[in-house]
Structure 1
Amino acid sequence: MEQQFDRPIENVEEKTEEKKKHDFGKIFKDGVLTNNPVLVQMVGMCSVLAISSSLTNAIGMGIAVIFVLTMSNLVISLLRNFIEDEVRIPSFIVVIAGFVTIVQMLIKAYSPALDKSLGIFIPLIVVNCIILARAEGFASQNGPIESIVDGISQGLGYTIAISILASIRELFGSGTLFGVRIIAKEYTIGFFLQPASSFILLGLLFAGFAALTSKKKKAN
């Protein structure tokens, strides 16, 4: 009799663990691919378009967004039951602003050149649509661990998208990657460093990503 009762309990526990693992995997996949903040949700576009002329700037901004997203998601998730609906958006902004201030101070202290390049776009993380959307749509409705995974994955999705765009613009516009010469200067195309090129290239990235995902759906 004991053996008969033990097995179902073990099976339930195993299924619960598998479900949790599957959920975390789905959250991570959504942030990086399925629901990529830039290529699918199309949010946080100002910084993507403005600072993607350099891969160094793109990765620096990406790291800052990952940190702010992850930490603000965690804190908002922990406080979600204590924040009244009437003040939730101001409360989210205060939490996000605190972590943005920390990031800005760290960048100013340890990488003044990056701080100068990113300029106003670091403080503007406070009102970045990605950060507010995840705070409102995910962290305020889910537990701390799920919120951390969501913050990391959404931040990575943003970083990957802006880094791809920055790689193309820097490589063909300056002939360099991370400041290292790859293409001779006489073969570079200055247009890739102009603001207009970011709109065109980002549109092509949207189209390419949509084509790949739709083809994959049809194959499945």
Structure 2
Amino acid sequence: MSEYKEIAWQGLWKNNPGIVQLLGLCPLLAVTSTLTNALGLGIATLLVLVGSNVCVSLIRRWVPKEIRIAVFVMIIAALVTCVQLLINAYAYGLYLSLGIFLPLIVTNCVIIGRAEAFASRQPVLKSAFDGLMMGLGFTIVLALLGAIREILGQGTLFAGADLLLGDWAAVLTIKLIDFDTQFLLALLPPGAFLTMGLIIAAKNAIDHHYAHKAPKTAPEPVSRARINQT
């Protein structure tokens, strides 16, 4: 159980792919203008990450080292195609909103990195759990960034939720701030960079606070015999 706790801790906080490893920054900064878009891409990435980790773990003993990266990319591309077709069929508005960033999940370094560094060396259950935790960590960062940018940019939350959940979800949109015009800095790429920097700074500040708060081990006392020898 301690191994699974460590995997969860690594994926959700200590080694979070979005704010620690800084992987997948292109979709992370480009798509997160709204919380709905962020959740859509995050869920799609999570599904591909879990599926690729499971597949790579299952075939890891039969894939020659010389072609393992090419095989991993083919597996990821097949899974991305399946997820893309599902979103196209059941959430077409979200499919149009995410655009090119859905097929670009194939090139996301988070997925190929976990396949190479973890799934190719671990059994299926651990690989699936690692994919789930890394995917959740990435999705949480996407959602947090999308929520902050949407609130600052247009004063709403869950705008366009019907794109992800269907027509009934239009009632989920919350109006928090009544803006005359949109705050474009928050919605454009410069705002994404600034907001991402603040999130990383907050995470580092929390780590620094708890590192100093943790009890320090006392130095080992020097024995009198050792003093006499010197």
> TM over 0.5: same fold?
yes
Query: Aligned residue for 1:201?
Result: 195
Q: Is the partner of 1:186 in helix, strand or coil? A: coil
**Runs of 4+ residues over 4 Å off in structure 1:** none
State the 1:189 CA deviation: 2.4
Query: Aligned residue for 1:213?
Result: 207
Once residues 181 and 212 of structure 2 are traced to their aligned partners in structure 1, the CA distance between those partners, rounded to angstroms, is: 40
Q: What's the % identity of the aligned pairs?
A: 43
Which AA in structure 2 matches 1:206? I
After superposition, where does 1:56-205 map in structure 2 within 5 Å? 56-179=36-159, 180=173, 181-186=175-180, 189-205=183-199
After superposition, where does 1:20-39 map in structure 2 within 5 Å? 21-39=1-19
State the 1:110 CA deviation: 0.6
State the 1:188 CA deviation: 5.3
State the 1:208 CA deviation: 1.1
Question: What is the CA deviation profile of residues 75-110 of structure 1, one whole-angstrom value per residue up to 9, with x for unaligned ones?
Answer: 100100000000000000011111100100000001
Question: How large is the RMSD of aligned CA atoms in angstroms?
Answer: 1.0
Q: Is the partner of 1:185 in helix, strand or coil? A: coil
What runs of 5+ residues in structure 2 fail to find an aligned partner? 160-172, 215-230
What TM-score does the superposition give when structure 2 sets the normalisation length? 0.85
State the 1:218 CA deviation: 2.0
Once residues 42 and 106 of structure 1 are traced to their aligned partners in structure 2, the CA distance between those partners, rounded to angstroms, is: 28
Instruction: Determine which of 25, 32, 48 is the counterpart of 1:45.
Output: 25
Once residues 186 and 126 of structure 1 are traced to their aligned partners in structure 2, the CA distance between those partners, rounded to angstroms, is: 39
State the 1:185 CA deviation: 2.0
Aligned length: 200
Q: Is the partner of 1:36 in helix, strand or coil? A: coil
Query: Aligned residue for 1:16?
Result: none
State the 1:205 CA deviation: 1.0
Query: Aligned residue for 2:222?
Result: none
Query: Aligned residue for 2:35?
Result: 55
More helix by share: 1
Once residues 136 and 211 of structure 1 are traced to their aligned partners in structure 2, the CA distance between those partners, rounded to angstroms, is: 31
Task: Work out which of the two has the higher radius of gyration on C-alpha atoms and give 1 or 2.
Answer: 2
What TM-score does the superposition give when structure 1 sets the normalisation length? 0.89
What runs of 5+ residues in structure 1 fail to find an aligned partner? 1-20
